[in-house]
């Protein structure tokens, strides 16, 4: 009786570790398939790339502008205005828009918009037993379905991050103008404080986010089960796991980047 209770209490933990392990195995298989010839995934890669771009660009621009205008823009401008140093807003935007908000908004939009679409697509194929049919035909689902999505999401998340930074800084300009401050000071502190390490850190982080999102969403889609309700449930779980994984990775990456690059810790 007691043993049964313990087993039942630990069941969520067991499921969790099993799923994490299976996602790791999927990642390893995907990485192996990327380098091992043949390379049949070129067309699908371009298709997925354009698909993700088409879905994500509009939510991404609006979301980054809104988040950067509200959170670092108005809040920080309010405080800096009290000190009379509104030109420092540009330097503050390097810390927030480049290091923090650009990546999280890109990841949230790609996971929420493209990741859900990928899970829904693969889940529907799994439910209609198309994936099994592909395997019978001798087509490897990992090589032909997961690899192009993995590569496409990695590339596009990194590239969208640059657009997120651009729109975030536009929002900072808007906040600066709202307080009646000319933009010269904003750009002066922005460009003095922006280092190339910030930019590569941000883009590299987003590229890895894309990989995480692709693996989680493909895994959940390819293991969907239980009819129509199962696809919806798979999408739900995929986006929750992707959000948690991405934010935890962001924390680890930021802590390591900032602690190991002391030149990012001085203000100029």
Partner 1 sequence: MTGWLDVPRGWIDSLGEIARFGSRVAGLVYSGRVFQFFGESLRQAGILVLGSALIIWAFVFILGLNCGVIGAYFSRSIGAPSNAGIFSAYCDLREGIPYAFGYILSAKVGTGIVAELGAMRISDEIDALEVMGIEPVTFLAATRLLGAWIALPFLFLVGVGVAYFSSYIAVVEQVGDVSSGGYLLIFWTFQDYVDVLFSLAKGMVMATIIVLVGCYYGYTASGGPVGVGTATAKSMVVNIIMVHIVGMLGTLIFYGSNPRAPIGG
- Minimum separation from the CB atom of position 31 to partner 1 (A): 26
Give the angle subtended at the CA of 257 by the CAs of 251 and 263, to the nearest 5°. 140
Inter-residue contact 224 to 122 (CB < 8 Å): yes
Distances (CA, A) of 246 to 73, 133, 209, 210: 24, 33, 6, 9
Specify the residue for token string 């401008």: 77
Token code pair at residue 72: 């670092």
Nearer to partner 1, 113 or 203 (CB): 113
Q: Which residue has the tokens 């959000």?
A: 243
Measured from the CB atom, the residue of 53 and 74 that comes closer to partner 1 is 74
Give least dist CB 138 to partner 1, A: 25
* Contact residues: partner 1, CB under 8 A: 55, 59, 62-63, 66-67, 69-71, 74-76, 78-79, 81-83, 92, 95-96, 99-100, 105, 108-109, 112-113, 116-117, 119-121, 123-124, 127-128, 227-236, 239-240, 243-244, 247-248, 250-251, 254-255, 258, 264-267
Smallest gap from Cβ 39 to partner 1, in A, equals 29
What is the C-alpha to C-alpha distance for residues 209 and 221, in angstroms, rounded to an integer? 18
CB of 46 to partner 1, least distance (A): 21
Nearest CB to partner 1, comparing residues 29 and 233:
233
For residues 212, 165, 109, 143, the Cα torsion angle rounded to the nearest 10 degrees is -40
């Amino acid at each position: 009786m007691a043993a049964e209770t313990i087993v039942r209490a630990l069941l969520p933990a067991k499921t969790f570790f099993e799923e994490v392990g299976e996602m790791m195995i999927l990642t390893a298989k995907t990485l192996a398939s990327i380098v091992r010839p043949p390379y049949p995934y070129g067309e699908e890669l371009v298709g997925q790339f354009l698909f993700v771009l088409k879905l994500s660009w509009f939510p991404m621009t609006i979301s980054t502008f809104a988040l950067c205008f509200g959170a670092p823009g108005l809040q920080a401008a309010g405080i800096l205005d009290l000190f009379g140093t509104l030109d420092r807003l540009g330097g503050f935007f390097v810390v927030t828009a480049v290091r923090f908000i650009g990546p999280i908004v890109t990841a949230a939009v790609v996971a929420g918009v493209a990741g859900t679409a990928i899970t829904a697509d693969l889940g529907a194929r799994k439910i209609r037993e198309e994936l099994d049919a592909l395997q019978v035909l001798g087509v490897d689902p990992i090589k032909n379905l997961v690899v192009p999505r993995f590569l496409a999401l990695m590339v596009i998340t990194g590239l969208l991050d640059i657009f997120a930074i651009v729109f975030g800084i536009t929002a900072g300009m808007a906040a600066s103008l709202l307080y009646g401050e000319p933009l010269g000071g904003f750009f002066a502190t922005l460009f003095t404080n922006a280092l190339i390490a910030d930019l590569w850190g941000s883009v590299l982080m987003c590229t890895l986010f894309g990989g995480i999102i692709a693996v989680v969403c493909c895994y959940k889609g390819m293991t969907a089960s239980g009819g129509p309700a199962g696809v919806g449930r798979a999408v739900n779980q995929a986006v929750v796991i992707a959000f948690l994984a991405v934010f935890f990775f962001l924390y680890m990456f930021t802590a390591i980047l900032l602690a190991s690059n002391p030149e990012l810790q001085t203000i100029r």
